[in-house]
Amino acid sequence: MTGLAVLAVWLGQADKGFAVVLAGKYQVGKADRLENYSRTIPLKAFEIAKLDTTNAEFAAFVRATGYVTDAEKNHNAMVFEPGLKEFEWIQDHSASWRFPNGKPRGSITGKMDHPVTSISFHDASEYCKWAEVRLPTLDEWEVASRAGAKTDYFFGSDESLIGKYANIWHGRDHLKPDFSDGYMYTSPVGKFLPNPLGLYDVYGNVFQFCSGRLSSDRSERVRHARGGSWWCSKNACCFFNSVDIGSVDVKASFSNQGFRVARDLAVR
């Protein structure tokens, strides 16, 4: 194992919904990246959810606490509809986690097993406080997503395999709808093949919020998410990998961003 720590699932010790990453030193980053450059990092043991947090789980949080999300308060969620130019999104005052792309484009009825979206980093953090979990750090997410791989993807370097593992956008652009993998927006969690650690939707479906900052952050408001989303295509951002790190405002709500939770191993 070249002196690096062993990465494994502790069957029997891990909660059914969590995978365990052992304490150790891990290889992260990529040689040609200035921010996330290739390096070895030490990590404490932690657990990370195998699935993204769903609408059903977020609904339970809202029922228990009466929490009102940023998009519900501020009516400023950003949504997508086919026909927009690359990287263009539109603000929809009616959009929130209950109507991820705005009321005209439908609700989450019948989609309670989809990842919760149209929430902000701030909302995700509030959920974590209630659920007594936390967001993974940028490094934890990367180590868990790689599952031991040193390539851009946990399945190697062949990007053409991405469709087996991720709900992404397969269209050349975003002018027309793309249902080629069965879903234009989110898919139910766990519909695509998992990584060797047992994590589903590591890439695609929704950007997953992570804690931590980058040296390039120009504002206190910047937060980060990883893994790409259903919107991402190979011809646009290609962020569906273990290397790239997204940046977004702490109060921004988009219908392609969600989260998966983590927790310290010592807690259990």
Partner 1 sequence: MKRLLSICIIVAVSTSLFAQFDPPGLTKASKAYHAYRMVETDPSYGLTKVESLIKRIKSVNDYSQEIAAKTFNALSVPDKFTYCMLHGEVFSQNCDGMPATLGEEKMIFGHPLGPWFGQNQWSDRQKSFLHHNRTAVVGLLRSTIRSNSRVGCNLKMAITELDAWELIPDLAASYNKAKQDGDILSVFFLLMKDGKFKPFLISETYKKIYADEDASYKSFVAYNPENAQLTIQRATAYYKSRKE
**Selected binder of partner 1 within 38, 107, 157, 180 (CB under 8 A):** 38
Q: Give the nearest distance from C-beta 205 to partner 1 in angstroms.
A: 13
Quick one: residue 64, left, alpha or beta (phi over 0 = left, psi -120 to 50 = alpha)? alpha
Q: Give the nearest distance from C-beta 201 to partner 1 in angstroms.
A: 15
Q: Give the nearest distance from C-beta 76 to partner 1 in angstroms.
A: 7
Q: Give the nearest distance from C-beta 220 to partner 1 in angstroms.
A: 10
Q: Which of residues 122-161 bind partner 1 (CB under 8 A)?
A: none
Count of residues engaged in binding partner 1, rule: CB under 8 A: 50
Instruction: Determine, following the binding rule CB under 8 A, whether residue 61 of this chain makes contact with partner 1.
Output: no
Instruction: Determine, following the binding rule CB under 8 A, whether residue 236 of this chain makes contact with partner 1.
Output: yes
Distance, first Cα to last Cα, the chain: 28
**Closer Cβ to partner 1, 18 or 169, answer by number:** 169
Instruction: Determine, following the binding rule CB under 8 A, whether residue 31 of this chain makes contact with partner 1.
Output: yes
Q: Give the nearest distance from C-beta 37 to partner 1 in angstroms.
A: 4
* CA dist., res. 13 & res. 23, Å (int): 15
Q: Are 78 and 90 in contact (CB under 8 A)?
A: yes
Cα radius of gyration rounded to whole Å, the chain = 18
**Dihedral, 112, 203, 96, 248 alpha carbons, nearest 10:** 160
Instruction: Determine, following the binding rule CB under 8 A, whether residue 247 of this chain makes contact with partner 1.
Output: yes
* CA dist., res. 59 & res. 22, Å (int): 32
Instruction: Determine, following the binding rule CB under 8 A, whether residue 169 of this chain makes contact with partner 1.
Output: no
* CA dist., res. 29 & res. 213, Å (int): 15
Instruction: Determine, following the binding rule CB under 8 A, whether residue 232 of this chain makes contact with partner 1.
Output: yes
**Dihedral, 197, 201, 202, 205 alpha carbons, nearest 10:** 180
Q: With CA atoms as reference, report the closest residue to 178 among 255, 84, 244.
A: 84
* Residue ranges in contact with partner 1 by CB under 8 A: 31-39, 70, 73-74, 76, 78, 86-91, 207, 216, 218-219, 221-222, 224-225, 228-229, 231-232, 234-239, 243-249, 251-252, 254, 256-257
